[in-house]
């Protein structure tokens, strides 16, 4: 069963898939730059983005569906 992601979390996932940098992705998603390192780390755990680099071959929409349990 999936769970709902906020728009910030979705933006974080999309950015993370492109950059692979959780801190930068948190900032780009609109989280505070002061706490971006901690927020990025927390989001990687809570949103359960698979860290498998092979996911870079998939579109961000596919990964969002995977992360939310839609697949």
The Cα 66–Cα 64 span in angstroms is: 5
Contact call for residues 68 and 4 (beta carbons, < 8 A): yes
pLDDT of amino acid 49: 62
Say what percent of the chain tops pLDDT 70: 61
Helices (H) and strands (E) in the chain, counts: 4, 0
Single pTM value for the model:
0.66
pLDDT per residue as tens digits for the range 30-67: 999 999 999 999 998 876 665 545 455 556 666 666 66
């Amino acid at each position: 069963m999936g769970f709902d992601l906020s728009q910030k979390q979705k933006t974080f996932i999309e950015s993370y898939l492109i950059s692979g940098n959780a801190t930068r992705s948190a900032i780009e998603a609109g989280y505070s730059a002061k706490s971006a390192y901690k927020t990025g780390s927390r989001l990687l755990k809570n949103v359960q983005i698979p860290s498998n680099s092979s996911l870079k071959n998939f579109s961000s929409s596919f990964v969002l569906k995977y992360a939310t349990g839609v697949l």
